[in-house]
Structure 1
Amino acid sequence: MILCAGESLIDMVPDNGCFRPLAGGSVYNTAIALGRLGEPTAYLWPISRDPFGEVLLRPLAEAAVNTDLCPRTDRLTTLAIVTLVGGEARYSFYDEGSAGRMLRPEDLPALPQDVQAIFAGGISLVPDPCGAAIESLIERDGDRLPVMLDPNIRPFFIDDTDAYRARLSRLIAKADVVKLSGDDLEWLFPAMPPEDAARKVLAQGPRIVLQTGGAAGARAHWRGETVVAPAIRTTVADTIGAGDTFNAGVLASLRRQGILSKVGLASITKDQIATALGLGAKAAAITVSRPGANPPWAHEMSF
């Protein structure tokens, strides 16, 4: 079972001059995508008892994602106001004192024995106490379980840049797989070519660094020759949830290939990486072809 630990929220998406509430959040979207792909998935993040909390729980249940590790709380659900600029999503967050924001390291449960990997990232890494909680989870369990990290950096959400950079450095060093968009790499290493920036991240400790670039496709930097996977051409409705779905496809492929483990990732081959990138790209292409974070179900994929 793959554990996704990190934010869920309500995306307030533009709709004919109004805003329509949709369940979202970077890590939440990846959990939904994994569940829809038929992967055994668990989710860890506080869920509010407010009406939006029920909105968040419903898709998890429909995708058969296990929510036993999700504490319920009377704190309110995080809201993200979405604006679309040229088809690209931009966000403003209402997060102070929210259900997820107040997750503390001491709130972390022991993980069930059937958890075989951890996925984390998104805005849950930024503020405390929740950022410290996710870091504590990876510090506690990351030596025995493989970790995939997608920071999905939102610069306008970061108040203390130095503290966040320090946390990211610690987390990257603990992670086995790190996924970074072109924007992420630009933020981490301004004015550095993306390929060089990705290699610089790889030198910090991960086995694999995945570099995504939308229509430019994805690249995997590892101990061998860079693996390149072209984007699958499709008509783009918007890009909400594209990277999150890509993450799910990669994780699903690694698990199906029997290499989602510390040992498996240490001995991974070029062909295995290419297979994982291919499934990630295919799942992401379906997501971008329809509005909102709406990942594909297993029956929509040709495996």
Structure 2
Amino acid sequence: MKHATTGAPRALVFGEALVDVIDGTAFPGGSPLNVAVGLSRLGVATTLATRFGDDAHGAQIADHLRASDVSFAEPVPGAETSRAEVTLDATGQAQYRFVLDSELPATPLDGIGLVHTGSLGAVLTPGAATVAAAFDDPGSRLRSYDPNIRPDLMKDHGATLDQVERLAARSHIVKMSDEDAEWLYPGQDLDAVLARMVALGASLAVVTRGAAGCIARFADSGAAAPADRVAVVDTVGAGDSFMAALLAAVLDGPLAASLLAGDPPAPHDVEHALQFAARAAGITASRAGANPPWTRELAGEAHGEPATFPATS
């Protein structure tokens, strides 16, 4: 990626910043935070519109964001920083229990070329209203969304589906996992879910499928990319790394102009972006925790561990 992180922010991410507590150890996390860090590490100047406290966990988050050159508002004095208590199953898949502050700060959109949101901050009150206002803004900028469903906190399926579809309809890019798709649309095949996102208004819809790679739909065409071949340590943050790298690839090439103009993107451009995103997700899955790659790693200087499973897409 060519973008420099100096100067005015080019990307604005709305959503939660929290700590993932794994075996008693806290790691900075939250899907929107991970995407913001991933974007910045790939050279996209990024601001995270979030809220966290001035406690020890908040200090940890602030240090993490500064280390990746992500801009953010000052911690809130006296507020408790959100946390997710994470357990890993035998395959390294993560399960979460949350303590969450869902308020988000309204943030000016001047000079922003991309607005992204996802997960809890996009649908839980009061932060959801802040996100909706940003996505309803008529300015000419890309909008992207990752539902990143958390069933424990999104208990009303119908209400959540309404919110997800409202944001999807206002987004140029929608990405979700196959697990998200099954929760939102039980029993429907992934092609039907992608078609639904495009029918709602998304210019590019993507579903990730873990080791089976990813598939996408846009206009009357489709594309796919295999998963990168890595030895999986855990999957924490892998989907967020995919999202960040996909957005970075869009901003760095011709896709941004096509999506903004409403023109059908070229299939080879979409395939290139998906491959780039899959490689980023693979690097993250090859190491512990939500640790998105830097540009130098995606250039091949540090590319994970030897392969242990084949791509099937």
TM-score normalised by length of structure 1: 0.90
Amino acid in structure 1 at the alignment position of 2:236: I
Deviations 1:16-43 (A, max 9, x none): xxx1100000010011111112222111
Could you say which residue in structure 1 is the equivalent of 2:130? 133
Question: What does the per-residue CA deviation read over 1:174-215, in whole Å, with 9 as the maximum and x for residues that have no partner?
Answer: 011100111111111111112222212221110011011010
Correspondences of 1:123-272 after superposition (within 5 Å): 123-140=120-137, 143-261=139-257, 262-263=259-260, 266-272=263-269
Contact 2:218 2:265 in 1 (8 A): no
* Structure 1 counterpart of 2:83, from 69, 72, 79: 79
1:36-75 matches, within 5 Å, as 36-67=41-72, 69=73, 72-75=76-79
Q: Over the residues paired in the alignment, what is the CA RMSD in angstroms?
A: 1.7
For the structure 1 residues 74 and 232, does the alpha-carbon distance in structure 2 shift closer, same or farther, using more than 3 Å as the test?
Answer: same
> What is the distance in 2 between the residues matched to 1:276 and 1:140?
27
Aligned position for 1:301:
298
- Quote the residue 1:275 is aligned against: 272
Contact 1:7/1:27 (<8 A) preserved: yes
Whether the 8 Å contact between 2:38 and 2:241 is mirrored in structure 1 is yes
Tell me, yes or no, if the aligned pair for 1:46 and 1:73 is still in contact at 8 Å. no
Would the alpha carbon gap of residues 283 and 185 (structure 1) be closer, same or farther in structure 2, given more than 3 Å must change? same
Letter in 1 for 2:277: G
Output the CA distance in 1 between the equivalents of 2:272 and 2:118: 23
Deviations 1:243-295 (A, max 9, x none): 00001111111111143255356342111111110110011110000010011
Question: Structure 1: how far apart are the matches of 2:227 and 2:262?
Answer: 24
Q: Deviations over 1:231-254 (max 9, x none)?
A: 111100000000000011111111
- Identity score, percent: 32
Match of residue 115, structure 2, among 90, 94, 118: 118
Amino acid in structure 2 at the alignment position of 1:111: L
Single out whichever of 166-175 and 153-162 deviates more from structure 2: 153-162
The alignment partner of 2:12 has SS state of: strand
C-alpha displacement of 1:164: 1.7
Deviation for aligned residue 1:167: 1.3
Q: How many residues align?
A: 289
Q: CA deviation at 1:62?
A: 1.1
Separation of aligned partners in 2, 1:60 and 1:2: 14
SS of 1:79 mapped into structure 2: strand
Query: What residue identity is the alignment partner of 2:80?
Result: L
- Determine the C-alpha separation between the residues in 1 that align with 2:238 and 2:190: 19
Secondary structure of the 2:161 match is: helix
**Aligned counterpart, 2:303:** none
Residue 88 of structure 2 aligns to which amino acid in structure 1? L
CA distance in 1, matches of 2:162, 2:234: 32
Contact 1:9 1:23 in 2 (8 A): yes
Match of 1:102 in 2: 103
Task: Give runs of ≥4 in structure 1 deviating > 4 Å.
Answer: none
Q: What residue in structure 2 maps to residue 287 of structure 1? A: 284
The alpha-carbon distance between structure 1 residues 54 and 258, as it changes in their structure 2 partners (threshold 3 A), is farther
Q: Which residue does the alignment assign to 2:15? A: 6
Instruction: Indicate conservation of the 8 Å contact 1:46/1:71, yes or no.
Output: yes
Question: Residues 263 and 94 from structure 1, CA distance in 2 versus in 1: closer, same or farther, beyond 3 angstroms?
Answer: closer
